[in-house]
């Protein structure tokens, strides 16, 4: 479907106003042309009337002098004062023959109108038609006074008037367009502030507010915008607070579950291994069946212990507050390298100082990285997973002080389609989004067409007092 290209509002409004003005000027021009033709036709009719009356007066004079009309008609005295370029005055007898004719000069070729205008004018007005007035004497018709104008002359005169109006119209429309565009640009200048405010809202900067405007319509938009931003800020703060509480409850439940698994299952598996070892020692050497069974029980118990340690590690990670975020993430990557046994290589890159981060902040970052690595390892079938954690300074906004942000990226070379579907359909991505939202950050997931995907998290943090620990831009 064909659609108009997007253009500037000022440009569109200016074009519409100029187009409407052009239509009005065109109507005025058409009226002027019609009026000029009507005036020319009235002038021709008046000349025909004067000529007919003059001829009647000549006939009357001749009848008073000698009773004969041998010198009739004499158009020279009647037509000479009335002649104009292209005008012809003639006397036609009742037989239809032209007895006498006087014509003025023709219009010069320099003033010839354009062919299009000439054809349109001739089609509308038929400028070559004759104007006839009867010449009467004592109630009888002697002949006709015939007045006509060369069509080219009438057309040229009409074009001369129209050309002047067209030139004035063109200059007026240009000036009008410039004045209207400047006025609209001044009137719509506040829309830049509205757009900037909307862009800040879209970037999750809910502190954006619009200043007062002079126009009532823009003031109404400003009131609604500020009210909406305030409500969104309140709702977001309440949601973040609720998310923090839910995350805290979730972490408490994980710690409780980890403690129960460690106390109950861990001790039970340790007892099973001990009993298997004791049974093996008490078995007779000449009976290999019980020995192999005891070894199998011990091996299964050891594998279950290893699985339990992995679950406990995921449920209750190392204390980030004591070890620090960097050390905890390095331990996470090392644990995955140990469990993968070379099938997948996990790498970590750290840039910046993370020692001064608050404990809840570091714990949430650790959980986000843990979930991202788990998704890459389980669903992407990657051979290489890279965790990149960077702290850097960013350009502050207007009126803001120094700003710092942490960027966490987990990239892999696995199958993008399966990873993308698993990440978006599962609860892991939802949990990461909740944690990122509680920290006031933003999360994005990028998947390649065939292979490779990357999860990127950017979270603003308060900068260090001395500016240390930041990576160079």
Q: To which residue do tokens 């949990």 refer?
A: 431
* Neighbour count for residue 408 (Cβ, 10 Å): 22
Give the three-class secondary structure for 193: helix
Long-range contacts of 446-449 (CB under 8 A, 24+ apart): 447/416, 447/417, 447/419, 447/420, 448/416, 449/416
Q: Which residue has the higher pLDDT, 449 or 293?
A: 293
How many angstroms separate the CA atoms of 265 and 255, rounded?
Answer: 15
H or E element at residue 332: helix 325-340
Is the predicted pLDDT of residue 82 greater than 50, yes or no? Answer: yes
> Are 461 and 357 within 8 A, CB to CB?
yes
**Out of 86-90, 347-351, 424-428, which region has the weakest mean confidence (pLDDT)?**
424-428
How many angstroms separate the CA atoms of 139 and 434, rounded?
Answer: 111
| pLDDT tier at 467, thresholds 50, 70, 90 | very low
| pLDDT tier at 417, thresholds 50, 70, 90 | low
- CATH architecture for residues 9-186: 2-Layer Sandwich (3.30)
What is the percentage of the chain residues whose pLDDT exceeds 90?
Answer: 7
Residue 389's nearest CA partner among 419, 362, 371, 416 is: 362
* Neighbour count for residue 246 (Cβ, 10 Å): 13
Q: Which two tokens stand for residue 358?
A: 């608050």
Cα 325 to Cα 214, 320, 322, 409, 456: the distances in Å are 52, 5, 9, 15, 18
| pLDDT tier at 397, thresholds 50, 70, 90 | low
- Looking only at the bridges linking them, the beta strands covering 140-149 and 384-394 are unpaired
How many angstroms separate the CA atoms of 322 and 313, rounded?
Answer: 16
Q: Which CATH number fits domain 321-473: 3.30.565.10, 1.20.1250.20, 3.40.50.10320, 3.40.50.720?
A: 3.30.565.10
What is the percentage of the chain residues whose pLDDT exceeds 70?
Answer: 83
Q: Phi first, then psi: what are they for 392, rounded to 5°?
A: -150, 160
Note the pLDDT of residue 175: 93
> Are 265 and 272 within 8 A, CB to CB?
no
| pLDDT tier at 284, thresholds 50, 70, 90 | low
Note the pLDDT of residue 50: 87
Residue 36, judged by CB atoms within 10 A of its CB (0-12, 13-18, 19+), counts as middle
């Amino acid at each position: 479907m064909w659609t108009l290209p997007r253009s500037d509002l000022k440009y569109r409004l200016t074009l519409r106003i100029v187009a409407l003005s052009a239509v009005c000027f065109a109507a005025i021009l058409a009226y002027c042309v019609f009026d000029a033709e009507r005036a020319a036709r009235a002038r021709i009719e008046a000349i025909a009337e004067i000529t007919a009356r003059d001829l009647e007066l000549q006939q009357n004079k001749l009848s008073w002098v000698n009773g004969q009309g041998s010198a009739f008609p004499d158009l020279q005295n009647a037509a000479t004062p009335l002649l104009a370029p292209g005008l012809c005055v003639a006397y036609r007898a009742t037989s239809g023959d032209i007895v006498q004719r006087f014509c003025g000069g023709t219009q010069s070729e320099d003033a010839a109108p354009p062919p299009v205008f000439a054809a349109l004018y001739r089609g509308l007005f038929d400028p070559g038609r004759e104007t006839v007035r009867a010449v009467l004497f004592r109630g009888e018709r002697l002949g006709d006074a015939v007045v006509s104008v060369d069509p080219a002359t009438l057309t040229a005169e009409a074009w001369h008037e129209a050309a002047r109006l067209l030139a004035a119209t063109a200059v007026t429309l240009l000036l009008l367009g410039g004045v209207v565009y400047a006025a609209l640009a001044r009137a719509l200048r506040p829309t830049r502030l509205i757009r900037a405010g909307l862009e800040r809202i879209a970037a999750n900067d809910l502190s954006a507010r619009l200043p007062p405007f002079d126009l009532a319509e823009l003031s109404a938009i400003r009131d609604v915008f500020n009210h909406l931003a305030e409500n969104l800020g309140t709702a977001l703060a309440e949601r973040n607070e609720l998310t923090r509480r839910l995350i805290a409850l979730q972490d408490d439940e994980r710690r409780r579950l980890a403690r129960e698994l460690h106390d109950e299952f861990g001790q039970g598996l340790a007892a099973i291994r001990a009993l298997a070892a004791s049974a093996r020692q008490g078995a007779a050497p000449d009976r290999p069946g019980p020995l192999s069974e005891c070894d199998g029980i011990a091996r299964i118990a050891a594998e279950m212990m290893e699985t339990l340690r992995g679950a406990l590690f995921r449920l209750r990670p190392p204390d980030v507050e004591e070890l620090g975020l960097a050390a905890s993430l390095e331990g996470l990557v090392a644990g995955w390298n140990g469990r993968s046994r070379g099938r997948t290589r996990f790498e970590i890159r750290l840039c910046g100082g993370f020692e001064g981060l608050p404990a809840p902040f570091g714990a949430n970052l650790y959980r986000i990285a843990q979930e991202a690595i788990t998704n890459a390892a389980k669903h992407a079938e990657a051979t290489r997973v890279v965790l990149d954690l960077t702290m850097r300074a960013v350009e502050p906004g207007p009126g803001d002080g120094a700003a710092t942000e942490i960027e966490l990226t987990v990239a892999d070379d696995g199958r993008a389609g399966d990873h993308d579907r698993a990440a978006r359909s599962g609860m892991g991505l939802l949990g990461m989004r909740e944690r990122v939202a509680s920290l006031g950050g933003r999360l994005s997931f990028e998947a390649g067409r065939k292979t490779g995907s990357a999860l990127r998290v950017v979270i603003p943090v308060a900068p260090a007092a001395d500016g240390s620990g930041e990576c160079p831009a």
